[in-house]
Structure 1
Amino acid sequence: MLKHGIYNEDDCQGIDLELIKDFYGTTDCLPPRPPGHTGAGYLGDDEPDSDRNSSDEGDESDLDDLSQQIEYIASVGHSEFLPKPVKAPRASCPFTGDELHLYEAGLSSAARQKILPPGYGICADEWEDDHYPAVEIIRSGRKGGKEISVQLPTFIWYPRGHLWVLALSIMERILEDRIAD
């Protein structure tokens, strides 16, 4: 399930075929494609960039059409096509106003200075084989019997990990100082 997602039974079971075609189908009349257009939403590689349509109007009209379709489905009462509402988790800032200012200034300064806080696995002496891990194994299934290997390219994950570790370290110090006071 982690690798391929969860597949439920047919979402359209018991729904009229014409209704399914109206909302999930394609139009019968396809617009003509310009010369060199692949049909996959991209122009052929051999066309110069200047000939391409750089307007975003199509994207906006597509969004307008989608919004209108969603409003229509809701007004007609076809709830089987609308997603079930999901409650958003409550979010709150753990800092007071002064602490937030201190946190932001501290994070900015630490990132500029490229500080590496020890104990979080971001320092080179904390790595196995003296290099940043390129793969992470996620165990899943009953008793952790399944393993999924996740690639961690250094140029992508190390900067993100470094910033995350700095933020976590600074947050922990601010909250510890609050308790000590």
Structure 2
Amino acid sequence: MLLTVSGPPGAGKSTTVATLAEAFGLEHISGGDIFRQLAAERDMTAVEFNKLAEKDDQIDRDLDRRLRTIALERDDVLLESRLAGWLAGDAADIRLWLDAPLDVRAERIAEREDKSLDVAREETRAREESEALRYEEYYNIDITDLGIYDITLNTARWSEEDVPSVLKAAVEAYDPEDDEGKFPVEGVNYDF
């Protein structure tokens, strides 16, 4: 099975995917972890690295190529990244989008990264705008188009424990033989 989990920063992806990966015996591959490792290797914050990525498109392209290759060549993976659902395309069994209002996400990020709420909110907003521009320019992806996702969930509405339970129930109900409801991913330029 190939599950993808996508969503903006602070939506609760990392918290949720650990539970889902364990529940279904899937290897968890995190694009965010890879991105932060690359930033740390250059002694940069994620925000600084995002700014560099605005000028050097090879940063995104290398990361996205690696994630797409994993999606197309490996089995039993939970792929987590902002573009995971898009990059996996029709290879994904189920594509999930997790979200929450900006203020909720900024509060989570502020707590996690030990920074002020105002700084977290502004950095998150700037990061999302930067990424949205790059995704559109590089791949013709409108990150606000959620039509490719099988499930979109506002994680602010449920507890940290309940979100994985809701998604686990949906995945367990999935029948891989019935792909009539699957939305193809069209119009994406996979020119890495």
Q: Give the alignment's TM-score, normalised by structure 1.
A: 0.24
Structure with greater proportional helix content: 2
**Bigger fraction of residues in strand:** 2
Structure possessing the higher relative contact order (Cα contacts under 8 Å, 6 or more residues apart): 2
